[in-house]
Amino acid sequence: MNKLTIRDLDAAGKRVFVRVDFNVPLEDGKITDDSRIVAALPTIKSLLSQGAIVILASHLGRPDGKVQDSMRLRPVAERLSHLLKMPVSVTGDALGAGTEDAIKRLKPGECILLENLRFHAEEEKNDPGFAKALASYADVYVNDAFGTAHRAHASTEGIAHLLPAYAGLLMEKEIEFLGKLMENPERPFAAIIGGAKVSGKIQVLRNLVDKVDVLVIGGGMANTFLLAQGKQVGKSLVEPDRVEDARAIMESAAAHGTKIVLPSDVVVAKEVTRGSEYKTVPSDKVPASWNIVDIGKNSLDAMRKALEPVKTVFWNGPLGVFEIPTFSVGTREIARFLAGRAQAGATVVVGGGDSVAAVEQQGLADKMTHISTGGGASLEFLEGKELPGVAVLLDREPASAGGPAGSK
């Protein structure tokens, strides 16, 4: 990675503004998954141990520039206090005299959490005045929020033009793992791409098809590929306007010697609901009034066989209607299989909400090589796009230049 990180920063006595991704799921005011908070702990602890004054900032949900009590960060501050074993207070607002006073009272080795940044519409608009107000709190900026690095917001891009800007340890880890996938993966290299729609992942597929040795396609997006093969998919979710894209990707795979694995049999249901009648059929025998909701056993076996020899795997997206347990079998089985491959020495990187959920629900997260905290950001990275929140960080000078000084 060619960006300066907090390893290059002497943070002692400095006020450090750390953009974290604490956009965690809440139910009845309780955090149901704190993995994003846990992922940020190494950076926070490192800065605090150096004697920095740490100002944490995050968004939560989509309040659309308005104060929403259900999206306040108090539960996050409470959980963080527990994890750090020290009190972490949350400000009443991201801006204002009260917030400024609270920050001024902080001593080295203490931290505070700003209230939800997106209570201010200026955050998502990357408003220069809002970025300047945030920058006024600190001497140094650190971005550890890979999950929002693909957004040019005031706290992810604007502020980094106003302060020396470094990558946090989580950001460093994400870029290193994903960068290695694209630049120097151990082969054979496979990608498993699932999810509902092919349209959202066309660029990823185009960018990966000549880089991987095996491309496994599942979920609703596979239906468009089946249609491109001339198969009927009944009432299934499908994008007829993307059939030509799917056909072009399959032609590119053939030209590059990339093996594409599509479902050979599928689970179909009369309705995409819990308790609906379902059965397994060949992928070219889908009844006209039924919906494809999961991969079948033969498909699962074929995917396992294709993935058995690979040394590197990237997985994004479920292979069926994961939110309905009956139709999550393929996704859960692939998660178990990949955990086994990782334990056998393969590099397995998982990114994307439902695929990560499938791993975490089965207690397999610590068996994978890396769980990416950024679904959209990891996809855009793999599309080959430059992420605004990464591009703006200080560059590391070539080793021959000597010293850690950087430039934007």
Beta bridge partners of residue 64, listed in sequence order = none
Q: Is 38 helix (H, G, I), strand (E, B) or coil?
A: helix
Helix (H) or strand (E) holding 268: strand 265-269
Distance of alpha carbon 295 from alpha carbon 223, whole angstroms: 11
Q: Which two tokens stand for residue 348?
A: 């397995």
Active site residue 92: no
Q: Which two tokens stand for residue 337?
A: 């299989």
Active site residue 353: yes
**Which of 12, 23, 13 minimizes the C-alpha distance to 117?**
23
**For the chain, how big is the Rg over CA atoms in Å?**
23
Active site residue 376: yes
Please give the span between the terminal C-alpha atoms of the chain, in angstroms, as a whole number: 14
The answer to whether residues 141 and 17 touch, using CB atoms and an 8 Å cutoff, is yes
**Which residue among 51, 92, 340, 353 is the active-site one?**
353
**Which residue among 36, 79, 341, 396 is the active-site one?**
36
Phi, psi (degrees; rounded to nearest 5) at 340: -65, -40
Amino acid type, 394:
L
Helix (H) or strand (E) holding 334: helix 329-343
In which order are the strands placed within the sheet that holds 53-57?
89-90, 111-113, 53-57, 15-19, 140-143, 165-167
> Could you tell me where the DSSP H helices lie in 163-217?
169-183, 202-208
Phi, psi (degrees; rounded to nearest 5) at 164: -55, 125
**Which residue among 45, 180, 197, 385 is the active-site one?**
197
Report the relative pairing of strands 111-113 and 89-90 from DSSP bridges.
Answer: parallel
Q: Which two tokens stand for residue 63?
A: 């309040």
Q: Is the dihedral angle over the CA atoms 344, 346, 347, 353 positive or is it negative? A: negative
Amino acid type, 358:
A
Report the relative pairing of strands 259-261 and 370-371 from DSSP bridges.
Answer: unpaired
Catalytic site positions: 36, 197, 353, 376
